[in-house]
């Protein structure tokens, strides 16, 4: 194992005419790691993938794979493979020929190609579909053929462009586990581009959140989820409730924040300076208490607007006295649950709030 | 039509009497193309076959009647394959048939070799440029076919534009005999039929998915391999259509070989013309047409058979 990362981008920028798709992106992909590039559509995440695959040339910066600078290396000589969002299966070739396409170009013997193809078909459990044409397959089957074809060349790193986007929800959930299993079995590094935050968190060892051509925050999913650096990340990765606040005092790593909507001041650990700020709290960190008793801990009165049953959770919408809507997800199905139209105490623990820059 | 008009559910009649639910509108719709085919394709073919199977005579029309009265007063069908046996025996007819097929093939090949890169370049051009490029490719064909072929005569002849230019540049010492040969005919036909090759190729290449070529590159294909293994196989329906549209009419081409060909450029169109107008041998001319038709049916049938396979189930 080399000490240098498998894929490395340093200060990479790419513009199409006046439109700057990628600005100053630096990113590493280590061996056997899954990194998810997450962002809304048009944030430049697919362009990053295409820069690594060699379909685009960067205007600035450096792309290197396995320690080798990729400047001037055409796509067909790069040691990475890509799984396309549209799958891009060759319609004139059978499933087996699609998968064998890459190994054949690698100059393997007929026997080796046949073995590799059989192995990949088994990996994605499509042995019975080997002779079929792509148009005879279901969406899920096509997705697996696309994966098998891209992985058949045994690249050290696989680039996956929205690998699950075209599947329905149930299949998507199943395929997340499937992708992880295949990735472990092959021992490859995956760079996954997605706009789906659940997919990113479910798949990746590390998540890089992109916005407007830049990586805003990168880290393990739990860290990015729990400690978002700004409003955009907090809002994009998972759901959140945001409240405008004002820092009134700051001392020894603690601040006091005044927030009118939460009916007073909160004290929480932060070394943020300045005055204006945002308070973010995840819906599952909020709790509801019946108004028949006195509130326990910090709380404000709220009116329950809506309760949506979601199996493991109940999603509640509450309206504060200021007219503001707040989302609270209650995990306990057997606990007390208000009905729409009822009043309730909306309670929290101050340390569950995150202080974000304006 | 009746079912369409009836919305989601077929009218009761169609339900209770399946197979007999052909409405009057539907019959009318079917009748028009059927009438067209019978009057303008089937009937002329039958007449052609009848003439081919008769004997040449002096008179009007210049061939023997189909039904003849024997001396004893009985009626008899008079059919003879005399024209076909002569056709098979005589070298000039076989040379004409063979010349037609060879020249049409070379012309279609030349048109294909020119049109494919053109179509690919047009299909890869930025979207907003494509209509303009398409118009430019078709623009020359707004002038008369005859004038365009004649223009090649001016370009190719002994004291023509091309020879004059080559002489001026000192590349040749004597004017080249470019005109009046098979080469000139192939060039002329390829030029005249280029749009018929270009348009189907462009149509199929324009609709291609660029991601497929990227996928091929990603899997290790050099640009040449990419074309050979992905672009070309996927454009085969367009290639087949282009070849059919150029090769088949080119076999019967008369104007181009007449204007650009030499006395030894034998193409069926010219032989037909001679038989018909100079030798007044209508049965022979008809037999030649039938023979050409039969010869062309083979490649057409092959194309038809290949088409579903070529498409490869492309969505």
Q: Write down the H helix ranges in chain A.
A: 45-53, 95-105, 110-123, 139-151, 169-186, 197-203, 221-226, 231-236
**Counted domains in chain A:** 3
Burial per residue of A131-142, b for 16 or more beta-carbon CB atoms within 10 angstroms, e otherwise: ebbbeebeebbb
| CB spacing of B217 vs A91 below 8 angstroms | no
- pLDDT, residue A293, reads 82
Residue A66 and residue A16 share a domain: yes
Please indicate if any CB of chain B lies within 8 Å of the CB of A166: no
Residue B129 and residue B101 share a domain: yes
- pLDDT, residue B2, reads 38
Residue A13 and residue A128 share a domain: yes
C-alpha span between A72 and B32 (Å, rounded): 62
Angle at A250 (CA atoms; ends A244, A252), nearest 5 degrees: 135
Residue where a domain stops, chosen among B77, B104, B120 = B77
Low-confidence residues of chain B: pLDDT under 70: 1-22, 308-315
**Is A321 domain-assigned?**
yes
Cα–Cα nearest to A205, from A24, A29, A5, A331: A29
| CB spacing of A86 vs B222 below 8 angstroms | no
**Contact list, A76 vs chain B (CB under 8 Å):** 217-222, 226
**Contact list, B217 vs chain A (CB under 8 Å):** 54-55, 74-76
Residue B221 and residue B271 share a domain: yes
Please indicate if any CB of chain B lies within 8 Å of the CB of A82: yes
Residue A298 and residue A149 share a domain: no
Residue A296 and residue A244 share a domain: no
Smallest CA–CA distance, residue B58 to chain A, in Å, is 59
Residue B146 and residue B114 share a domain: yes
Q: A333 pLDDT band (50/70/90 cuts)? A: low
Please indicate if any CB of chain A lies within 8 Å of the CB of B228: no
Residue B223 and residue B117 share a domain: yes
| pLDDT digits 0-9 by tens, A46-67 | 999 999 999 999 999 999 999 8
Sheet holding A189-194, edge to edge: A80-83, A157-161, A189-194, A34-38, A206-211, A214-219
- pLDDT, residue B167, reads 80
Please indicate if any CB of chain A lies within 8 Å of the CB of B212: yes
Residue A291 and residue A198 share a domain: no
Residue B109 and residue B66 share a domain: no
Please indicate if any CB of chain B lies within 8 Å of the CB of A57: no
**Is A345 domain-assigned?**
yes
Residue A245 and residue A149 share a domain: no
Q: A3 pLDDT band (50/70/90 cuts)? A: low
- pLDDT, residue B310, reads 60
CB B27 within 8 A of CB B1: no
| pLDDT digits 0-9 by tens, A171-229 | 888 888 889 999 999 999 999 999 988 889 888 999 999 998 999 999 999 999 999 99
ipTM rounded to 2 decimals: 0.83
| CB spacing of B312 vs A84 below 8 angstroms | no
pLDDT at A43 over 50: yes
| pLDDT digits 0-9 by tens, A135-163 | 999 988 999 999 999 999 999 899 999 99
Please indicate if any CB of chain B lies within 8 Å of the CB of A135: yes
Residue A288 and residue A276 share a domain: no
**Contact list, B229 vs chain A (CB under 8 Å):** 101
**Counted domains in chain B:** 2
Residue where a domain stops, chosen among B77, B104, B134 = B77
CB A313 within 8 A of CB A330: yes
Query: CB-CB: which of B211, B221, B313 is closest to A84?
Result: B211
Please indicate if any CB of chain B lies within 8 Å of the CB of A101: yes
Residue B255 and residue B210 share a domain: yes
Q: What is the mean pLDDT of chain A?
A: 89
Domain limits for position B112: 83-311
Residue where a domain stops, chosen among A197, A232, A267 = A232
Residue B103 and residue B162 share a domain: yes
CA distances from A49 to A5, A126, A159 (A): 16, 27, 7
The CATH number that applies at residue A306 is: 2.40.50.140
Residue B111 and residue B196 share a domain: yes
Please indicate if any CB of chain A lies within 8 Å of the CB of B207: no
| pLDDT digits 0-9 by tens, A249-285 | 888 888 889 888 888 888 888 877 778 889 999 999 9
**Is A357 domain-assigned?**
no
Residue A163 and residue A15 share a domain: yes
Cα–Cα nearest to A318, from A295, A339, A349, A297: A339
Residue where a domain stops, chosen among B38, B62, B77 = B77
**Is A204 domain-assigned?**
yes
Domain limits for position A258: 239-280
Concatenate the DSSP letters of all residues of chain B into one string: -HHHHTTTSPPHHHHHSTT----HHHHHHHHHHHHHHIIIIIHHHHHHHHHHTS-B-SSSSSB--SEEE-TTS-EEE----HHHHHHHH-HHHHHHHHHHHHHHHHHHHHHHHHHHHHHHHHHHS-GGGHHHHHHHHHGGGGS-HHHHHHHHHHHHSTTSHHHHHHHHTTS-SS----SSSHHHHHHHHHHHHHHHHHHHHHHHHHTS-HHHHHHHHHTT--HHHHIIIIIHHHHHHHHHHHHHHHHHHHHT--HHHHHH--TT---HHHHHHIIIIIS--HHHHHHHHHHHHHHHHHHHHHHHHHHHHHHTT--
Please indicate if any CB of chain B lies within 8 Å of the CB of A165: no
C-alpha radius of gyration, chain A, whole number = 25
Query: CB-CB: which of B217, B221, B312 is closest to A91?
Result: B312
| CB spacing of A76 vs B312 below 8 angstroms | no
| CB spacing of A105 vs B312 below 8 angstroms | no
- pLDDT, residue A104, reads 92
Residue B94 and residue B52 share a domain: no
Mean pLDDT of A298-324: 88
- pLDDT, residue B1, reads 35
């Amino acid at each position: 194992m080399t000490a240098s990362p498998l894929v490395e981008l340093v200060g990479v920028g790419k513009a199409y005419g006046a439109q700057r798709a990628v600005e100053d992106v630096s990113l590493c992909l280590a061996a056997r790691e899954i990194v998810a590039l997450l962002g809304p559509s048009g944030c430049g995440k697919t362009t990053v993938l295409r820069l690594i695959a060699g379909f685009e040339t960067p205007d600035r910066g450096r792309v290197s794979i396995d320690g080798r600078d990729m400047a001037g290396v055409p796509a067909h000589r790069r040691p990475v493979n890509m799984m396309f969002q549209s799958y891009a299966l060759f319609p004139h070739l059978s499933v087996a020929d699609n998968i064998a396409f890459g190994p054949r170009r690698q100059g393997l013997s007929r026997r080796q190609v046949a073995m590799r193809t059989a192995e990949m078909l088994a990996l994605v459990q499509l042995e019975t579909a080997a002779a079929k044409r792509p148009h005879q397959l279901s969406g899920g089957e096509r997705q697996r053929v696309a994966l098998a074809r891209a992985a058949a060349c045994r690249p050290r790193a696989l680039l996956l462009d929205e690998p699950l986007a075209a599947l329905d929800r149930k299949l998507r959930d199943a395929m997340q586990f499937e992708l992880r299993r295949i990735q472990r079995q092959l021992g490859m590094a995956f760079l996954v581009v997605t706009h789906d935050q659940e997919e990113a968190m479910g798949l990746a060892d590390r998540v890089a959140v992109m916005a407007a051509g830049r990586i805003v925050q990168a880290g393990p999913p739990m860290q990015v989820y729990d400690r978002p650096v700004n409003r955009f990340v907090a809002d994009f990765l998972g759901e959140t409730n945001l409240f405008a606040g004002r820092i009134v005092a700051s001392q020894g790593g603690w601040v006091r924040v005044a927030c009118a909507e939460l009916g007073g001041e909160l004290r929480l650990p932060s070394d943020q300076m300045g005055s204006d700020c945002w308070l973010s709290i995840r819906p599952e960190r909020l709790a509801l208490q019946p108004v028949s008793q006195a509130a326990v801990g910090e709380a404000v009165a709220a009116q329950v607007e809506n309760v949506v049953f979601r199996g493991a959770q109940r999603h509640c919408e509450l309206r504060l006295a200021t007219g503001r809507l707040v989302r609270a997800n209650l995990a306990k199905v057997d606990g007390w649950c208000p009905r729409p139209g009822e009043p309730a105490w909306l309670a929290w623990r101050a340390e569950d709030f995150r202080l974000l820059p304006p | 039509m009746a079912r369409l008009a009836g919305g989601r559910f077929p009218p009761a009649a169609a339900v209770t009497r399946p197979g007999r639910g052909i409405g009057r509108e539907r019959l009318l719709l079917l009748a028009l193309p059927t009438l067209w085919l019978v009057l303008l394709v089937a009937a002329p073919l039958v007449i052609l076959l009848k003439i081919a199977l008769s004997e040449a005579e002096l008179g009007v029309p210049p061939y023997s009647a189909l039904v003849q009265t024997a001396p004893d007063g009985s009626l008899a069908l008079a059919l003879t394959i005399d024209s076909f046996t002569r056709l098979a025996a005589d070298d000039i007819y076989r040379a004409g048939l063979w010349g037609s097929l060879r020249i049409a093939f070379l012309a279609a090949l030349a048109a294909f070799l020119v049109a494919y890169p053109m179509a690919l370049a047009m299909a890869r051009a930025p979207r907003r440029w494509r209509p303009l490029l398409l118009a430019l490719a078709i623009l020359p064909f707004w002038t008369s076919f005859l004038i365009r072929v004649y223009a090649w005569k001016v370009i190719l002849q002994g004291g023509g534009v091309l020879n004059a230019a080559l002489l001026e540049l000192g590349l040749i010492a004597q004017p080249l005999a470019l005109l009046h040969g098979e080469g000139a005919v192939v060039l002329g036909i390829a030029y005249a039929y280029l749009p018929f090759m270009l348009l189907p190729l462009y149509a199929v290449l324009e609709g291609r998915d660029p991601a497929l070529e990227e996928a091929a590159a990603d899997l290790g294909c050099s640009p040449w391999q990419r074309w050979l293994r992905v672009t070309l196989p996927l454009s085969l329906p367009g290639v087949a259509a282009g070849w059919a549209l150029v090769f088949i009419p080119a076999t019967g081409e008369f104007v181009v070989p007449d204007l650009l060909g030499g006395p030894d450029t034998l193409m069926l169109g010219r032989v037909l013309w001679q038989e018909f107008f100079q030798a007044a041998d209508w049965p022979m001319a008809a037999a030649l047409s039938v023979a050409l038709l039969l010869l062309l049916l083979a490649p057409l049938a092959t194309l038809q058979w290949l088409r579903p396979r070529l498409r490869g189930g492309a969505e």
